[in-house]
């Protein structure tokens, strides 16, 4: 059986934008958006489209990309550059996407140090890990619709008994693993294995086990493997 599940829908960032939305005024608002990943990342593109559709008419929006999915080791240096841009722009509000932007940028530079409103989205960890929410930081968490995906696949394939997970070895991948560990007792199929990989060679080596232990494979966050 070769049924594959993929949760790739954009997080409903529009719910966050009401924090900044306001009637049109003579001077536009200045908003700084700090993305954890690269500019051509599909997830980042979709978030940007949502932000532009709501804030584009009354805001000057500046986007900064930390590129941590493709160059993780330079993330903290990029966060320092983002802070320099923040100081230059003096924005009315900041939007930060995904976990790396929180612990590399928000916590060391903004959290409890400025009054500027900060809204986050796409965060996999529990908000308490970063001390969120606070007086000037709030947002929404990202959670994969794993339980629902398995239930839907079960309707299509009633004999589905096991699901395996194939995910890039990254902070997002380990966050997804924590989610699976915490809720798998509610799934309509057993978890045959959770595999964090870095290379295509590792994926090929897993082939026999995926074929023997998994009726379906849930793929997530494989961008950037070599």
Tell me the per-residue pLDDT of 204-219, one tens digit each, with 9 for 90 and over.
Answer: 999 999 999 999 999 9
The answer, yes or no, to whether residue 16 has pLDDT greater than 90, is no
CA distance 30 to 15: 19
Task: Give every strand in the sheet of 59-65, ordered side by side.
Answer: 59-65, 29-35, 93-97, 118-123, 137-141
Alpha carbon distances (Å) from 157 to 3, 4, 83, 104, 114: 9, 12, 50, 43, 53
Fold of 14-141: Rossmann fold (3.40.50)
CA distance 103 to 94: 15
Tokens standing for 44?
């980042």
pLDDT of the residue at 226: 81
**Is the backbone of residue 107 left (phi > 0), alpha (psi -120 to 50) or beta?**
alpha
CA distance 175 to 101: 15
pLDDT, greater one: 69 or 224: 69
Task: Write out pLDDT tens, residues 78-135.
Answer: 999 999 999 999 999 999 999 999 999 999 999 999 999 999 999 988 899 999 999 9
Q: State whether the Cα torsion 53-54-59-62 is positive or negative.
A: negative
Q: Using CA atoms of 109, 111, 116, 118 in order, give the dihedral in degrees to the nearest 10.
A: 100
> Any idea what the Cα angle at residue 35 is, between residues 64 and 101, rounded to 5°?
110
Confidence of residue 188 (pLDDT cuts 50, 70, 90): very high
pLDDT of the residue at 18: 53
Say how many Å lie between the first and final Cα of the chain, rounded: 26
Average model confidence (pLDDT) across the chain:
88
CA distance 85 to 82: 5
pLDDT of the residue at 131: 93
pTM for the full predicted model: 0.74
Q: Identify the residue whose tokens are 């007086």.
A: 135
pLDDT of the residue at 23: 53
Q: Identify the residue whose tokens are 């070895």.
A: 169
């Amino acid at each position: 059986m070769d049924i594959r599940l993929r949760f790739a829908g954009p997080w409903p960032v529009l719910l966050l934008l009401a924090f900044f939305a306001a009637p049109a005024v003579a001077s536009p608002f200045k908003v700084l958006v700090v993305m954890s990943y690269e500019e051509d990342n599909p997830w980042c593109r979709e978030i940007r489209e949502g932000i532009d559709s709501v804030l584009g008419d009354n805001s000057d929006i500046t986007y900064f990309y930390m590129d941590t999915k493709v160059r993780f080791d330079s993330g903290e240096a990029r966060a320092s550059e983002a802070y320099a841009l923040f100081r230059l722009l003096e924005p009315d509000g900041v939007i930060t996407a995904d976990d790396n932007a929180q612990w590399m940028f928000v916590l060391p530079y903004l959290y409890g140090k400025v009054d500027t409103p900060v809204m986050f989205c796409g965060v996999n960890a529990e908000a308490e890990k970063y001390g969120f929410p606070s007086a000037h930081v709030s947002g929404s968490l990202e959670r994969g619709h794993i339980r629902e995906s398995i239930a839907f696949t079960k309707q299509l394939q009633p004999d589905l008994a096991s699901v395996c997970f194939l995910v890039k070895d990254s902070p997002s991948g380990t966050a997804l693993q924590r989610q699976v560990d915490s809720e798998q007792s509610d799934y309509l199929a057993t978890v045959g294995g959770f595999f964090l990989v870095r290379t295509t060679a590792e994926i090929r080596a897993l082939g026999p086990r995926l074929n023997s232990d998994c009726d379906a494979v849930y793929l997530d966050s494989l961008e950037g493997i070599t």
